[in-house]
Amino acid sequence: MNCPSADQIYSYLENELTSSENKAIEKHLLICLKCRKALEVRKFLLQAIETLPSWQVPSGFSQQVMDRIFPVKVSIRGWLTAFASGFVAFVLGFFIYVLATGQNLSSLLINLNQSLLEQAKSISLVFIKFFKLISVSLKIIHQLSGQFIKALTLLTTLFSPEVQIIIIIFTLILITFSIYGIGRKFLIGEKQ
Amino acid sequence: MIEDKELIERILQGEKEAFEMIIRKYENPMLNYIGRMVGERELALELTQEVFIRSYTSLNSYQPQYKFRSWLFKIASNLVIDYWRKKKVATFSLNHRNVRENQKQSIQVADDEPSIIQKFELSQLRERIDQILEKIPASYRELFVWRHINELSYEEIAEIKELPVGTIKNRVFQTKEIIRQLLEERP
């Protein structure tokens, strides 16, 4: 056999050759110093390559990937379970409180009921006042808008279009300055 | 250890934990491949995550007659190529003087071949190899990493790249010879 090529040497080192090819190379190596040296060099190289430092993922990597694939979703069933658990905990806590304090359960329930009723009354009063305020505000806005439309109608009947434009511009300027003035007043007030 | 085939069947039946087992099995081999292809740890971790996400979403297209890890590395290879295309990095050019596409002839051992054995300690040699690897054309480096770091067989690599086994072997041998020559050249 002639000297083996570099790829044959690699194949020999990686057990990629047939047994007859292996034997032929081994026989040649016995008589060829150059090929023995070439084999040693490549063996050393392969040894280094196969023990190269390994890259490691950080801990929890697989969980991170799983979280990206399956984002956590709270289902309605989950919410219902949480609500039911909370309710059961409340009822249990209530009974433990009754047992620990030795209070009469029926009187405690009546007291609780009364206090809840009081709370409901006060909340409903706030709501009624709020809705009254809104309805009054809406009435005022409605009346003002009616007056405004009447004024506009009067404007169109009394004055010529040119005068109407002048009056509208003048009114707009007046409104702008009024808003600006009110704003300034508030700002000055804040500064003081 | 549970076989990939069984794990895949369990995933397809809706068992999420089976996919976590797949991730744990391949997370480090995948990071070693992608890390040596892109060079940056954070980027490699991000791309490794992406490989597992892509593999899960396209698991229905996996054909069981192929090895699962070959399929997984194929996804990774496509992802790395996509990344380079987006970044417009020309890393797949064959720019080394010793690398010739479809080179069929065998590399002969030179008479006066210098030896790296006298030149380096094993630990030094490993360090140098990692540095040199970054300069190897990506299409060759990829095959080298699969063969010698991920320990894939030449047949598996041929399956991933859809190339003849002989071509794959030849390219991996050439890569090793380039590394050896570069090691000899450097002081």
Window 58-97 of A: residues touching B by CB (8 A cutoff) are 58, 61-66, 68-70
* Cα–Cα distance measured from residue B60 to residue B72, given in angstroms and rounded to the nearest whole number: 13
pLDDT tens digits, one per residue of B112-169: 666 777 778 888 899 999 999 998 999 999 999 999 999 999 999 999 999 999 999 9
Paired tokens of A156: 């169109």
| Segment of A12-16, B88-92, B100-104, B182-186 carrying the highest mean pLDDT | A12-16
By C-alpha distance, the chain B residue nearest A12 is B173
How deeply is A110 buried, as exposed, middle or buried, from its count of CB atoms within 10 A (0-12, 13-18, 19+)? exposed
Per-residue pLDDT, B50: 97
Residue with structure tokens 């709370």? Answer: A119
CA distance A10 to chain B (A): 7
Q: Give the range among A69-73, A171-175, B72-76 with minimum mean pLDDT.
A: A69-73
Phi/psi zone of residue A183: left (φ > 0), alpha (ψ -120 to 50 degrees), beta? alpha
Predicted confidence band of residue A192 (pLDDT cuts 50, 70, 90) = very low
Average pLDDT, chain B: 87
Per-residue pLDDT, B10: 94
Give the Cβ contact number of residue B180 at 10 Å: 21
The Cα-based distances of A61 to A58, B30, B41, B42, B45 in angstroms read: 6, 12, 13, 12, 9
Nearest Cα residue to B106 out of B184, B183, B181, B177: B177
Q: Which candidate from A5, A37, A64 shows the least CB-CB separation from B113? A: A37
CA distance A12 to chain B (A): 12
Q: Which candidate from A11, A38, A55 shows the least CB-CB separation from B28? A: A55
pLDDT tens digits, one per residue of A10-36: 999 999 999 999 999 999 999 999 999
B80 in Cβ contact with B38 (< 8 Å): yes
pLDDT tens digits, one per residue of B102-111: 444 566 666 6
Q: Mean pLDDT, to the nearest integer, of A83-96?
A: 87
Q: Give the range among B21-25, B70-74, B114-118 with minimum mean pLDDT.
A: B114-118
Q: Which candidate from A34, A46, A54 shows the least CB-CB separation from B111? A: A34
Are residues A68 and B169, on separate chains, in Cβ contact within 8 Å? no
Mutant choice from A11, A45, A59 vs B, greatest count of B C-beta within 10 A: A45
B18 in Cβ contact with A34 (< 8 Å): no
Residues of B within 8 A of A55 (CB-CB) are: 28, 31-32, 35-36, 41, 44
* Cα–Cα distance measured from residue A102 to residue A98, given in angstroms and rounded to the nearest whole number: 6
The span from the first CA to the last CA of chain A, in angstroms, equals: 106
* Cα–Cα distance measured from residue B73 to residue B26, given in angstroms and rounded to the nearest whole number: 10
Contact status of A8 with chain B (Cβ, < 8 Å): yes
* Cα–Cα distance measured from residue B43 to residue B46, given in angstroms and rounded to the nearest whole number: 5
Paired tokens of B26: 């391949």
Mutant choice from B16, B26, B109 vs A, greatest count of A C-beta within 10 A: B109
3-state helix, strand, coil in chain A (%, to 5): 85, 0, 15
Contact status of B107 with chain A (Cβ, < 8 Å): yes
Angle (CA) B86 B90 B93, round 5°: 140
By C-alpha distance, the chain A residue nearest B19 is A66
pLDDT tens digits, one per residue of A127-185: 999 999 999 999 999 999 998 888 878 877 888 888 888 888 988 999 999 888 887 77
Window 131-170 of A: residues touching B by CB (8 A cutoff) are none
Per-residue pLDDT, B64: 87
Per-residue pLDDT, A160: 81
What is the three-class DSSP state of B2?
Answer: coil
Contact status of A52 with chain B (Cβ, < 8 Å): yes
Are residues A55 and B23, on separate chains, in Cβ contact within 8 Å? no
Per-residue pLDDT, B185: 80
Q: Which candidate from B45, B122, B179 shows the least CB-CB separation from A47? A: B122
The dihedrals phi and psi of B72, each to the nearest 5 degrees, come to: -65, -45
Residues of B within 8 A of A29 (CB-CB) are: none
Chains A, B: CB contacts within 8 A come to 118
DSSP string covering B96-134, please? -TT--TT--SPPPPPTT---STTT--HHHHHHHHHHHHT
